[in-house]
Each structure stands twice: as C-alpha cells, then as structure tokens.
Structure 1
Amino acid sequence: MSPHGPEGAAAPRTLLVTGHGGAGRSTVATATAVAAARSGVRTVLLTGDRADIAALLPLAPAPEAAGPLSGSAALGRPEAVDGVPHLRVAAVDTAASFRAATLDLQQRIGTLLDLLGAAPLDPEELTDVPGADALALLRALRDVHTVGHDDRPPWDLVVVDLPPVREAVALLALPEQLRRYLRRLLPADRQAARALRPVLAQLAGVPMPAEWAYEAAARADRELSAVQAVIEHTGTSVALVVEPGPRAERVLTDARAGLALFGHRLTAVAANRLLPTGSADPFLAGLAARQQDHLKAVAEPCAADGVALRELPHLGAEPYGAAELAPLALDPGVPEEGADGVRPDPWTVEDLLADEGHFVWSLPLPGASRDGLDLVRHGDELVVDAGGFRRIVPLPSALRRCTVSGAALRDGALRVRFTPDPALWPR
C-alpha cells in the first residue's frame, strides 16, 4: 500500500527542519508542531532525540494506539503533550530498529547460515552500529506515513527534527543512493536463469543463495522506494534554522546547493535568536547591529530564491511549554503542484539541435560556485559534485547517444551541453 494512503486520501504534509548545530532547530521544529496542533491540525513530531523534546514540552504516554506508530520497530511508544491534544511526539528507537532489521534478515537467510555452520545471533547480543541511526530515522519517516487503521492517513502534518545540514542532505539522499547500489550489484537483467533454479535447488536440497539475494534486494528496494516517495512528495518541504553570524551564511550556502542538487524544496529560513535593536546598553546594541549585518547577508539569497525568511526573537531563556514556544513557530507551507504528489524533475532538457546542433541539460543550483563544481560522465550517468555534495543521475535516453561538449554555471543554474555522437546518432 502507498505510504501516502489509499487512492483519494490526502497525503500528510511533511516539514523537514534542519540547520547548523546550536541554532535551535529542535526548538523551532517543536514550536512549529505545537502551533499546528493547537490550530486543530493532526500533527506528529518525529525526533531522533527524545530528551531534546522533553526539555521543551511536558510529555506523557499517549492514551490511545496511534495508528502505524504502535507497530513500528523504528519508533518508541508515541507520547502526548499536556494541553495540546492533536500532537503526538514520536522518538526514533535506533537500537530497536537495528535489532528488528538484523533479526529479520537472519531469519530470511537462516538456511544459508545453517549451510555455513554459523550460529545465529541472539537478540540480547545485538547492538547498533555506526550509521544505524540514519537508517532508523528513514524507517521511522516511512512508518509515520503509513495508512492508519481507518484507511486514512493518521496525520495532517509530520514535522521532522533532522540533523545538521550536511548530515541531513546525506540522509535524504540515502534512499536514492542505496537503490542505485542495489541495481548495480544485483541487476535484474543478469539474474541466473530462473528455469535452472528449481533443478539446482533439488540437487542441493535447499533454495539457491542467489535467489535469496535477489529477493532481499527486491524487498530492500521496495522499502527504500517508499521512503524516497515520502522525501520527494510535493507535500514535503525543508526549513532551515540559522543563528545570524558568519556561520549562518556558510550553512545557507551549503543548504541551497545541497538541497537543490537532490531536488528538495527549501521553503523557509528561520533567523533564530535575534536580539532587539535600539538597546541602551552599548554591548547589546553592538551585538544586535552585527546580527543585523549578518541577517542582511542571509536575506539577499532568500529573496533571490523566493524563500520566506522568518525572523525569530531571542527569548532570553530556553522556552518550555506551548505558550513560550509560540513565537518560534514556522508556517509549514502548502504542497507544490504536481500530478499524484510527484514532484517534477528539476533537470530539464532544452532541444537546440536544429538551431545550434546540441542539447542543454539544466539544473537549478543556487549557492553553488564554479570552484566547488565538478562534472564527470560515467557511462549513461552524470556525476555532479557541488559544494562537497555528490549526486549520480542517469542520463535521459536521447543524451546517452551524445557526448558532453561543455558546461557552465550561470545565474544559479548548471547548464551541460550535449552534442550528438555521429557513431550513435541516426542520420
């Protein structure tokens, strides 16, 4: 079943909140979820660190089963918030997610383990490994979009407290990258002849390991596809939280380039902890003036990209409870237009063959610089490095019969020129 509900059911909006370390992204994500829930929107706040949210809100066990969350190995028991009935907080349980995934795999390849003489692992001896937190968060993101018991999406809004920008971009890119690895390592068109497998299985007395590998790859691909569908849905957008200063400008540059490279939609930038201007205290007045200078440097690219800039006040102390969080809430935005929730491909092909003898493949890359940009043609794929982020994209069929004859970064867009290869292009 679709992660966005049955046909005709409205998909929940998803707001992914990231930023630089110490900017208050968890606080802003929490405030946004609280404000939406207080307005009557059924909201779930997904977090990788329950302690951060518990420092901001009075949490308590939810009195009722919470649809798909109650059966998710990647999530702990959903919690309610006193005074905010439409809000649930769901914390990612990395250890439980890793344990469930490992035991499931062990069960599926049990026959192979017996053949190898390997002793199965007990649940008690399984501890999560580096990188397990990213996979657990992705599984949790998929699970909160699963259809509820009444055949309708259980939430109107999902707010996700993501890691800092570079980790967040890598996390969002992971499903696409892992699916590509699966296709390369176990390509469907190179499977062993299916007609021979029953014969080989009878001779060996067990199912052939190759079959298990392909079945496992197919299952993993389906799960990754469900996560990717959530990330790339038109109802999914990204908000960036920064504290105005030299670091904020660099983080915004990274976010603009990284998110654009993977086709994600940055809809809001929150300038957090802004000091009031006009203070009689010279020290505070100086700090506020420097903040305003950095705020202008943040506002310019936001205006160029058409991204909303929200100025959030410095509250003097860490807020606690719905009322104190209210000034820090963001607007979760509205979905993009797109057929069936599918976001249009940001890459566009311009056919200039008749007039100029080539095609131009374009990708918006705001924030990218020529110094940090690199391109490599690899077979039927193009490898793009921008600002330290790398994406490998398959070429459209027409461009596979062309050679790369030039590239340029102009007006915030990467334009790659392709010239037909005479040996491959029909006369």
Structure 2
Amino acid sequence: MTAVAPVRIVLFTGKGGVGKSTVAAGTAAVSAAAGQRTLVLSTDAAHSLADAFGSPVGSEPTEVAPYLFVQQVDAQLRFEQSWAEIQGYLLSVLDVAGVDPVAAEELTVIPGAEEVLALLELRLHALSDEWDVIVVDCAPTAETLRLLALPEALGWYMARVFPTQQRVMKALRPVLSRAAGVPMPGGTVFDAIERLHAELDEVRALLSGPHASVRIVMTPETVVLAEARRSYTSLSLFGYRVDGVIANRVFPSQDADDWRAGWVMAQDAVLAQVDESFAGLPIWRSEYRPAEPVGVEDLRRLALELYDGHDPLAPPVGEGPFRVTRTTQGAVLHLSLPFVSRAEVGLARNGDELVVTVGSYRRLLTLPSGLARLRVAGARVEDGELRVRFREPMSSGQASPEGEGRRE
C-alpha cells in the first residue's frame, strides 16, 4: 500500500492590519496553481478571506479556482458542538445559584474559546487526506499565541487535576445534590471534556510537527517589529517552528518624491533591524502596490513576486525549537528563546515538569522519561536558546558541586 504524504500546514500570523490575510491567500493561490490540493482556512473571528478573493466564501470549503478551496470557519457552530454539553452543566449550576440567565450565558463562555475551537476544524481537515496543503489565516498575534498555548495547558489540567476531580465528584454527588441542590456533572460532561482535550492535543501535535510552521507577517514599522520579535520568542517557547518573516507593504525606492523618500528612509532603517533580528530565517519582502490585490490571479502574482523563485511550501529545515542532546555526564535540554536575556527567564523544577517563564508567558514542559529521572545541574541562556543541564542523581553522601542547580 502506498504511504500517504503528510499534509503541509503553514500558519500566518501578525499584528492586525499588516496584510496577513492577503499574503496567506496569495501563498495558497501559488500552491493550487502548482496542482496541490489546497485549502486556505481562516480561524480569525474577523474573517477577510472572502474580501481578498473577491468571492463569496462559506463555512464549508468553497472552490474559488482549480485545486483551491477557501473556508471561513463558523466558530460559533464549532463552539456549540464542542462546548455545548459543558456549558449546559455550568448554566444549570448558575441557575441554582440564582444568576440571571443572560449573565450566566456570558459567564460560561471562555474568552477566545471560539478562535481556539476553530482549530478543531483544522484537525479534521488534516486527518481527512483530502488536502496536500493547508494554509491557515490566524487571528492577530495575541489571540494566536493564546490559541496555540491552550492544548498544552489543558493537557496539564487533564493529567493532574481531572482524574482526582472525577473521583471526588463521583463520591460526593449524592451528598451534595441532596444537601445543596447543586447538580453534579454526569459522566457525559467528563466525557466531553476528555474528548475536547484529546482533540486539542492532536492539534498541538500537528502544529508542532515537522510538516507545520508559522510565518510572521509584518510591516516595516518599529512598533510592529517589536511585536514580531515577541511573537518569535513566544512561538519558540511553546515549541512552534517559525520558518520565515514577511515584510509587507515596503515602499519602492525608485522614483520617490520627497514625501515618499522620507518613508523609504524610515522603512529602510526598520528593515535593517529586521535583517538583524531574524538572521538565519528567510525574510521575504513585498512592495506596496498602487491597488490592493483582489482575486485569485492578483493574489498569485503578489505571492510569486514575494517568494521570488523560492518554494513557499518547502518543508521546514533544521531542528525544531525544542531538542535534547546527550553528554558524557547526562543531557542538555535546548529550547529556542530568541531575543531573551538570562534575567528575563524564570526556571523551576516540579517533579517531572520544567516550568519556564518568559515575561507573561509560562510553559509547563513535561520532561521526557530519560530526563525526568535526572537532576537539574544548571541552566544558561546562550546564542538565543535556553540550555538546561541534567546529570545523574547524586549517590548518597555525595557532595553537591558548587553552583549546581543554579541559573548561570
């Protein structure tokens, strides 16, 4: 039996208004023109793919050109399918507590849940064997990072809190129901939570795998560059591979009048910082156009000029942002953290977990079994990555070498 080639997944993210949807749509148009079965999927609540393609687009894949399909995910429908049972239980509890029904409805909706659950649609498509390429037009940066971090956070809850909670609820259900009149969650509620976790875990595995990557779209502005740098750091922290940066809406330098010449100079200064900030990554530039590209052909031309002969769907090269190397004394865990200094990283060990904090983001890394039995001997931030040294546990009575277990 012939092996099925894995689907190539490319996610586009960036600050709102940088042209992310246009670039994602153009990349998909180039893919389809090459004969690849291509789906471009929008998980952004403020859909704009229909505007980019100049064609009606629905909540199911809509063909806009040969091999090219577009879908603007109906996040509300997906939310109802995946969250309805859990929400129903929460509403019943709030009803007993006397909470106003309208307020209760608001309280049982997790902020950002619709965008997160839209990724479940990506999972279904990736497993369907209907597509060679899936291009994802993500929500603006902050929502994307929250969206991509959720599966791992929910995994921690499911592995540690959920089993205990399930046992306690089973034991206390008869007592609490009679004493307080509070409805206890039934097995179907727990089943719904477990199913949601399993599906999101599959999403994470897909998006952090070797055939998926994230592409950051930005405009050459100082504020936008700062956010792009933060995105690169945070995406790396959570184990997602960034395979390129797109500088969009660059003013052409030729024949510029005095007004445009000022913009060209300002953009050139930022673009120099872009080259320095993302050294080692492909950096593609797209010139500002006199008219916004609309329609499949305009989008395809934009992408062909942008990638300038390079394959926009080439598999990511090199190692991912998370790896482990062996040493004669133990092992070293490497986690890519570009633009981060030693002082900005918090590190703690909790059983078989390593807790890494960078700014407002925290990642709970479940250590591979080969590392979990070792002790942390030290850590440092060097060459854009966090390096945590592990060594064999000390034998009884062995003195701890000076500085062991401290951040270097």
TM-score (norm 1): 0.76
Q: Which residue of 2 aligns with 1:65?
A: none
Alpha-carbon distance between aligned partners in 2 of 1:373 and 1:187, rounded to the nearest angstrom: 32
Alpha-carbon distance between aligned partners in 2 of 1:183 and 1:426, rounded to the nearest angstrom: 34
Q: Which residue of 1 aligns with 2:290?
A: 316
Q: Which residue of 1 aligns with 2:76?
A: 95
For the 8 Å contact 1:278–1:285, the answer to whether it is kept is no
Structure 1 residue 25 and structure 2 residue 20: aligned?
yes
Q: Which residue of 1 aligns with 2:335?
A: 363
CA apart distance, 1:375? 1.1
Q: Which residue of 2 aligns with 1:150?
A: none
Q: Which residue of 2 aligns with 1:77?
A: 60
Q: Which residue of 1 aligns with 2:367?
A: 395
For the 8 Å contact 1:24–1:272, the answer to whether it is kept is yes
The partner residue of 1:333 within 313, 329, 337 is: 313
Gaps of 5+ in 2: 175-183, 400-408
- For residues 40 and 396 of structure 1, do their structure 2 counterparts lie closer, same or farther at Cα, with a shift above 3 Å needed? closer
The amino acid of 2:353's aligned partner reads: E
The partner residue of 1:55 within 38, 45, 51 is: 51
Structure 1 residue 298 and structure 2 residue 274: aligned?
yes
- For residues 230 and 418 of structure 1, do their structure 2 counterparts lie closer, same or farther at Cα, with a shift above 3 Å needed? closer
Comparing 377-386 with 283-292, which one deviates more in the overlay? Answer: 377-386
The amino acid of 1:395's aligned partner reads: L
The partner residue of 2:115 within 124, 128, 134 is: 134
Comparing 362-371 with 406-415, which one deviates more in the overlay? Answer: 362-371
Q: Deviations over 1:275-297 (max 9, x none)?
A: 11133411111111111111111
Q: Deviations over 1:5-39 (max 9, x none)?
A: x9821221110000112111111111111221122
- Percent of residue pairs bearing the same amino acid type: 35
Counting matched residue pairs gives 374
**Which SS does the other structure have where 1:181 is aligned?**
helix
Gaps of 5+ in 1: 1-5, 62-74, 148-152, 201-207
Q: Deviations over 1:356-376 (max 9, x none)?
A: xx6433222222223422112
Structure 1 residue 44 and structure 2 residue 39: aligned?
yes
**Which SS does the other structure have where 1:56 is aligned?**
helix
**Which SS does the other structure have where 2:347 is aligned?**
strand
Alpha-carbon distance between aligned partners in 1 of 2:250 and 2:193, rounded to the nearest angstrom: 49
The amino acid of 2:11's aligned partner reads: L
**Which SS does the other structure have where 2:67 is aligned?**
strand
For the 8 Å contact 1:166–1:254, the answer to whether it is kept is no
Alpha-carbon distance between aligned partners in 2 of 1:42 and 1:169, rounded to the nearest angstrom: 28
Matching of residues 224-373 of structure 1 within 5 Å: 224-303=200-279, 305=280, 307-329=281-303, 330=307, 331-336=311-316, 346-353=322-329, 359-373=331-345
For the 8 Å contact 2:49–2:72, the answer to whether it is kept is no
**Which SS does the other structure have where 1:80 is aligned?**
strand
Q: Deviations over 1:59-87 (max 9, x none)?
A: 247xxxxxxxxxxxxx8232222xx2211
TM-score (norm 2): 0.79
Deviation >6 Å, runs of 4+: 423-427
For the 8 Å contact 2:45–2:115, the answer to whether it is kept is no
Alpha-carbon distance between aligned partners in 2 of 1:51 and 1:163, rounded to the nearest angstrom: 9
Alpha-carbon distance between aligned partners in 1 of 2:73 and 2:234, rounded to the nearest angstrom: 25
Alpha-carbon distance between aligned partners in 2 of 1:43 and 1:424, rounded to the nearest angstrom: 60
The partner residue of 1:156 within 132, 142, 158 is: 132
Alpha-carbon distance between aligned partners in 2 of 1:345 and 1:268, rounded to the nearest angstrom: 14
Q: Deviations over 1:192-245 (max 9, x none)?
A: 59xx99xx9xxxxxxx96755654454233212321222122111111101012
**Which SS does the other structure have where 1:417 is aligned?**
strand
- For residues 218 and 425 of structure 1, do their structure 2 counterparts lie closer, same or farther at Cα, with a shift above 3 Å needed? farther
For the 8 Å contact 2:86–2:189, the answer to whether it is kept is no
Matching of residues 113-124 of structure 1 within 5 Å: none
The amino acid of 1:378's aligned partner reads: N
Alpha-carbon distance between aligned partners in 1 of 2:72 and 2:114, rounded to the nearest angstrom: 12
Structure 1 residue 10 and structure 2 residue 10: aligned?
no
